[in-house]
């Protein structure tokens, strides 16, 4: 099969996502299979909910009924995942697991990629990608958690703040 760990999607009974993830992690721990099954995730997002004029932050599952697992696909790892209580199988044609592509992993936000930046708040940067390419501006804010930077650029004689990915801006050099 494959020697490299890839991300796969497991289908579960609705509401059993956390139980399946916990069961899988327990099996990996007990059988010492860390080299086969690297990571198990239930993708969630924090949503602000207003109910009875009260504002609350609630954590919701992004994909109810699904769990993401990073694993090396072997007969043993396939068998373990497939026979975990609450798991109905892998997502793919005829239940055969199909790994996620790099673009899909990035779009789902499964793996946070670290971007090293050589600029800080107050520095002048050049935008190197996107519709505002070649514009220069001043860095207002850097959010490493979200991999975003806010830059104020001058457009049509007005100061305009724009939000960019960290790798869309580089330190300005003459």
pLDDT confidence band for 52 (50 / 70 / 90)? confident
Pair 13, 89: CB distance under 8 Å: no
pLDDT digits (tens, 9 = 90+) for 59-116: 888 889 999 999 999 889 889 999 999 999 898 888 788 898 888 887 776 665 566 7
Burial of 151 (0-12, 13-18, 19+ CB in 10 A): buried
pLDDT confidence band for 56 (50 / 70 / 90)? confident
Q: Is the pLDDT of residue 138 over 90?
A: yes
Q: Is the pLDDT of residue 173 over 90?
A: no
Q: pTM of this prediction?
A: 0.62
Higher pLDDT, 124 or 96: 124
Q: What percent of the chain has pLDDT over 90?
A: 39
pLDDT confidence band for 1 (50 / 70 / 90)? very low
Residue range 41-47: average pLDDT? 82
Residue range 109-132: average pLDDT? 80
3-state DSSP of 89-117: EECCHHHCCCCCCHHHHHHHCCCCCCCCC
Dig out the tokens for 164 from the structure.
């960019």
pLDDT confidence band for 162 (50 / 70 / 90)? very high
CATH number belonging to domain 124-171: 2.30.30.30
Where exactly are the structural domains of the chain?
6-108, 124-171
Question: How much is the pLDDT for 147?
Answer: 79
Mean pLDDT of the chain: 86
CATH number belonging to domain 6-108: 3.30.70.940
């Amino acid at each position: 099969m494959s020697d490299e760990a890839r991300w796969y999607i497991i289908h579960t009974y609705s509401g059993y996502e956390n139980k399946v993830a916990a069961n899988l992690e327990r099996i990996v721990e007990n059988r010492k299979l860390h080299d086969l099954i690297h990571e198990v995730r239930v993708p969630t997002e924090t949503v602000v909910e207003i109910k009875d004029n009260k504002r609350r932050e609630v954590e919701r599952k992004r994909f109810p009924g699904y769990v993401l697992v990073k694993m090396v696909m072997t007969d043993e790892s396939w068998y373990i995942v497939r026979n975990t209580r609450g798991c109905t199988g892998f997502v793919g044609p005829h239940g055969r697991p199909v790994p996620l592509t790099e673009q899909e992993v990035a779009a789902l936000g499964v793996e946070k990629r670290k971007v090293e930046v050589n600029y800080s708040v107050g520095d002048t940067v050049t935008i190197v990608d996107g519709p505002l390419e070649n514009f220069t501006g001043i860095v207002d804010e850097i959010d490493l958690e979200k991999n975003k930077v806010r830059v104020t650029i001058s457009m049509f004689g007005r100061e305009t703040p724009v939000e960019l990915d960290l790798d869309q801006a580089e330190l300005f050099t003459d």
